[in-house]
Chains A and B, each alone.
Chain A
Amino acid sequence: MRRSLICGAAGLLAAFLLWPGWAVAFEGEGTVRIGGMWPLSGPASFFGKAAFGLASLAVDEINEAGGLVVGGKRVKLALYSQDEACVAEQGLAVVKRLATVDKVLFSLGPGCSSVAEPVFGTLQKKLDDRSDTGLQLLFFTDIATKFGLAKLSPWAFRNTPDEPGMYDFVVKYLKEKHPDFKTVMVSYESDFAHSAATWNIALKPALERHKHHQVVEVVDWRWLDNEFGAQVTRLRKANADIYFSLTHTPSTCPSLRELKRQRVRPKIVVGITSLAGTEVLQQCPDVAEGVIAPSNFAPITPRAKQVADKAWERYKADSNIHSVPAYENVHLMKGLIEKAGIKNTEESLLSDRRKVRDLLATVGTFQGVVGKITMRPEDDPVKPRDVDKDLLLVQIRSAKWDIFWVPDHLKQN
């Protein structure tokens, strides 16, 4: 009896473990399935939940307007989102789930560059190469920002910030506007791919290129560290004019508090692109006052304000540099899916993905929430399938993000 009970319990446990959540068989009845993989749990979930909220808002808007037309039939969009938890191995499982269980046409995300690396690395490297067993799933990424990720596969496209370009502009701007500020100190997170790459690939080459600033101190820490005394002491001794804090909010806030405690007062503080969201305003508006961040999004146009308000109202989702691209991507893809002539059946899924991919590769310029966005072509030697978009500089003033600098054509809005 007891043996049967143990065997029964083991069987039930095995069945439970192997059950892939709430996935159902592909039906294709009245919906086009799109996917998204973001960090919806763990320390990076702030970004993932925001992107999920903005993508959901775009899906809602499309469906409320009647959906999209595929093969002469009006169908709705269905968003299948999965939690990659910012863990590479989980991302490797999730991508297979989206591709083969959820059977999505394309996927948004991943959120973390450290997940995007192996996920994009396992995609097909050359189109039409039959000997390449890499996965054929189209990604249109919104968050993973590390430079060069889209180069990994022709199936990877990104609507993410061009950080080398952004920091080049920042360095040039500081050189022109504050020529007397010559010394620079930097902090970055050694264990966070995005942060380390922002220093090594974006800011450092820009400083070397413009030959104006002298880097007097570079410190690093881990992104979930909570003690920064030693590093800030080195920054205090360096006493530079400009401080580039290339860290994410979890370590930016406590490190800025330590800077205040040790009375380190750089004349200008420039943050990482990811800082330009509400998380920093919730966690440390006092010490972050005056920090400048390069961004591609701020609610500076009527449409941008409307999107930000709706996303917050419906999903409590923060509209920021990483989440708004998810919204833009869904709206762009809706038009492409309609144009691509997909069949939207289980049998046609691979060829449907390819049709949409090929169309996305030729998209050129499209309308974003703030301004025009240009997708670089596939043969671009530097960053194929990445975008160029308007750069803004935003600054925390009175516990709110405010405009510090915008291009002239956006001022008219």
Chain B
Amino acid sequence: MEYYVAIGSIIGIHAMLGLSVYLVAISGQMSFGQQGFFALGAYLAGLSTALWGLHLLPALVLGVVVAAAVGLLVGFPALRVRGLYLAIATFGFGEIVRLAFLNVRYTRRIGDRVVGPNASEGFRHVRYIYDRGITPLEYLGIILLALVVVVILFYFLERSKLGAKLRAVEEDEVAASMIGINVTRVKVFGFTVAAGVAGLAGGLFIHYSSYIDHDMVALPLAIASVTYPIFGGLGSFVGPLLGAVALVGLTESLRTLHGAREFIYGALIILTMLFRPRGIVDEALVLRVKGWLPLRAARRPAPAP
């Protein structure tokens, strides 16, 4: 049971990271820097509970707020560029954060332990959940609750005017600006919210793992976070959720194949890109599924005579 709880926890955290990339992607951008916001959220939330003695909830909120604030600051200059240039700029941001944590020392001795970010030694002893008797199953509940909150946010966002504006910017920035959409504001909004979601994932992760170091927020995490929405699909927020479930699940179920699983993993992604370039849950599938739903069908207007 605890094994599935562990997998569920990792899926929940990675799904949030995938949703963070997805939100940037639906405004037509691609970010390879969400791991930077993940790291900010992780370190801030970890410091809050392990060093400053805060409760988990304000610690997570602090991580989200700081990550979102940095997202806002980074968003304005970064979103002046687009496409490949934006991908490189955001990856550069992720590397700056990572290298900053490689050098940051802010420790305090608590009992016989040195707690706090300790440069390349990493940030140990973030044992809030273990020391307070929170079981892994209960913590999975906390992760899933956070995920549900994020999903509800995305659900309403996608159905709101703002969501339509994000999609419009993705389709054609020039056309969107011509109908009165403030493209920069919309993109920066998406980037800021996405940064906050990544910060939340980071805060939850450090309390799950009890430890983080600069190497855990490097390029592989950036690639994984981008892969979830690309593989799962960009047609709906269900895409990155499906991507995280499928790819983390695949990593686990093929574990006994050792090196061979990397080939299978890679081949699966290539095949998906070949046959479903917008991911499994693409816009066409979303429309088709909506057509299957009886309520939707009932509401559908009668065809023109």
Give which listed residue, A100, A117, A132, contacts B133 with CB less than 8 A: A132
Contact (Cβ within 8 A) A41 B1: no
Given the complex, which residues of B lie within 8 Å of A121, measured CB to CB?
124-127, 209-211
For window 114-130 of A, CB contacts with B under 8 Å fall at 114, 117-118, 121-122, 124-125, 130
A 126-158 to B, binary, CB cutoff 8 A, 1 in contact else 0: 000011111100000000000000001000000
Given the complex, which residues of B lie within 8 Å of A192, measured CB to CB?
215
Contact (Cβ within 8 A) A92 B131: no
The docked-state distance in angstroms from the alpha carbon of A3 to that of B102 is 51
Contact (Cβ within 8 A) A193 B10: no
Q: Given known contacts A3-B292, A89-B10, A96-B2, is B209 in contact with A17 (CB within 8 Å)?
A: no
Given the complex, which residues of A lie within 8 Å of B135, measured CB to CB?
133
Contact (Cβ within 8 A) A92 B6: yes
Comparing A80-88, A306-314, A332-340, the segment that makes contact with chain B is A80-88
- A45 contacts chain B at the CB level, 8 A cutoff: yes
Residue of A22, A99, A196 most packed against chain B (CB within 10 A): A196
Q: Given known contacts A121-B124, A190-B120, is B6 in contact with A17 (CB within 8 Å)?
A: no
- B297 contacts chain A at the CB level, 8 A cutoff: no
Contact (Cβ within 8 A) A125 B216: no
The docked-state distance in angstroms from the alpha carbon of A16 to that of B120 is 38
- In the complex, what residue of chain A is closest to B259 when comparing beta carbons? A41
Contact (Cβ within 8 A) B258 A21: no
The docked-state distance in angstroms from the alpha carbon of A302 to that of B211 is 43
Contact (Cβ within 8 A) A114 B216: yes
For window 1-17 of A, CB contacts with B under 8 Å fall at 3, 13, 16-17
Given the complex, which residues of B lie within 8 Å of A359, measured CB to CB?
none
The docked-state distance in angstroms from the alpha carbon of A125 to that of B124 is 13
For window 107-136 of B, CB contacts with A under 8 Å fall at 120-122, 124-127, 129-136
Contact (Cβ within 8 A) A101 B3: yes
Give which listed residue, B1, B121, B292, contacts A197 with CB less than 8 A: B121
- In the complex, what residue of chain B is closest to A13 when comparing beta carbons? B246
CB B47 to nearest CB in A, in angstroms, measures 16
Given the complex, which residues of B lie within 8 Å of A89, measured CB to CB?
10, 209, 216
Contact (Cβ within 8 A) B1 A100: yes
- In the complex, what residue of chain B is closest to A220 when comparing beta carbons? B120
- In the complex, what residue of chain A is closest to B262 when comparing beta carbons? A41
- A200 contacts chain B at the CB level, 8 A cutoff: yes
- A58 contacts chain B at the CB level, 8 A cutoff: no
CB A136 to nearest CB in B, in angstroms, measures 11
- A93 contacts chain B at the CB level, 8 A cutoff: yes
A 86-106 to B, binary, CB cutoff 8 A, 1 in contact else 0: 011110111111011100000
The docked-state distance in angstroms from the alpha carbon of A187 to that of B259 is 30
Given the complex, which residues of B lie within 8 Å of A41, measured CB to CB?
258-259, 261-262
The docked-state distance in angstroms from the alpha carbon of A42 to that of B215 is 15
The docked-state distance in angstroms from the alpha carbon of A235 to that of B252 is 44
Given the complex, which residues of A lie within 8 Å of B125, measured CB to CB?
121
Given the complex, which residues of B lie within 8 Å of A17, measured CB to CB?
245-246, 249-250, 252-253
Contact (Cβ within 8 A) B256 A21: yes
CB B275 to nearest CB in A, in angstroms, measures 13
- Interface residue ranges, A against B (CB under 8 Å): 3, 13, 16-22, 40-42, 45, 82-83, 87-90, 92-97, 99-101, 114, 117-118, 121-122, 124-125, 130-135, 152, 190-193, 196-197, 200
- Sample of 6 more A-B contacts, CB < 8 Å, known A17-B252, A88-B209, A193-B215: A45-B259, A83-B256, A87-B220, A99-B2, A101-B3, A193-B120
